[in-house]
Amino acid sequence: MPIQNVEIAGTAVPHGERKHLRLRVSTSFAANPTHIPITVLHGKKKGPVVLITAAIHGDELNGIEIVRLISHNLDITNLSGTLICVPVVNIYGFQNLTRYLPEGRDLNRSFPGNPEGWAQDRYAHIIFNELVLKSDYIIDLHTASEGRVNLPHVRADMSHAETAQIARAFGTTVILNSIGYEGTLRRAAVQADIPAISFEAGETRKFEKKITEKGVEGVLNILKELKMLPGKPLYNPVQFVVNEITWIRVDRGGILSINTRPGKIVKKNQEIATNTNPFGIEVERIHTPFTGVILGIANTPTVNPGQGVCHISKLEEPRKVLQKRLFDYFGIKRIVF
């Protein structure tokens, strides 16, 4: 039986072809149609359909480069199944280099959407029905929000077996086990029984070569895990799942000096930052609430009371044991890109 064509945005993509498409997601106030770019790679052999999305938050650019590198460079003759590559989901945010849709709405709190709802709900409904529900697996690419930087890590609902499979295959050292906020793409997809993960890494508004290389490697690992590409994934010899995370927040406004970084393993009550007033007088010292791994930090020095300055995940195993595992395999005592 011949392989069926894949239809996206009303266009049939025959097997063995790579096709660039545009999906209409809305209209402007001038009544002009608004489209997002999509590249579909439809292999010659049967296999799963994998959706790769980036820039659901329009200022998170690393994922755009990861998707572009995959969609442009992948040899389609080796592909079994189909890749749906969406470099820019939130076209409004991308055009204005902002996280949000118009009216300050977060597209990644709006899935699966509503065709009769607010603008962001209608937008999400089109993405979900035209792309998500036609897919067997989803890889959603993100960075930290503005003013922060994230350690490369995967977020996934590890209670969902197929989601856990691709989360581990991606290959990051840290996997954050969480179902995700209500309305996120990956949570809505898993609720529809479609395995989905998000990759979080780096900063907004830039392409970071180490991050994009790690992201491309992770996507290719998943495609190999699913037998969509020949070869075996590059398994990470030191990988662990964290379940408890928290933001460390300042109590006073001031100018912050952080002496830690993403990937650092810290112990309970360790000092990680000092907060001073404009005269250089110390007003506060910031300590860790438990032994853990630094997932992200603020990368701007000015802070207001209650502002999150460090994202920390609690270790499920003793700190010394993890440090020894990292040292035995990598010759280091911290997590690196």
Q: 245: helix, coil or strand?
A: strand
Closest CA to 144 of 231, 224, 202: 202
As a whole-number percent, the residues of the chain with pLDDT over 90 amount to 87
As a whole-number percent, the residues of the chain with pLDDT over 70 amount to 99
pTM of the model: 0.95
Q: What is the pLDDT of residues 150-172, one digit of tens each?
A: 999 999 999 999 999 999 999 99
Q: In terms of pLDDT, which residue wins out, 268 or 328?
A: 268
Q: Which residue has the tokens 């300050």?
A: 104
**Which residue ranges make up each domain of the chain?**
6-225, 244-330
Q: What is the pLDDT of residues 98-119, one digit of tens each?
A: 999 988 999 999 999 999 999 9
Class of domain 244-330: mainly beta
Alpha carbon 307 to chain centroid, angstroms = 23
DSSP 34-59: EEEEEEEEE-SEEEEEEEEEE-SSTT
Q: What is the pLDDT of residues 277-294, one digit of tens each?
A: 999 999 999 999 999 999
Q: Which residue has the tokens 């992770």?
A: 218
- What is the b/e burial string over 153-190, where b = at least 16 CB atoms within 10 angstroms of the residue's CB? bbbbbbebeebbbbbbbbbbbbbbbbbbeebbbbbbbb
- Which pLDDT does position 337 carry in this prediction? 65
**Average pLDDT across the chain, whole number:** 94
Considering the domain 6-225, what is its CATH architecture?
3-Layer(aba) Sandwich (3.40)
The rounded distance, in Å, linking the Cα atoms of 322 and 242 is: 13
Q: Is 244-330 in the same CATH topology as 6-225?
A: no
- Which pLDDT does position 319 carry in this prediction? 83
Choose the weakest-confidence range: 77-81, 170-174, 253-257, 325-329. 325-329
**pLDDT of 4 strictly over 80:** no
The rounded distance, in Å, linking the Cα atoms of 13 and 6 is: 5
- Which pLDDT does position 1 carry in this prediction? 41
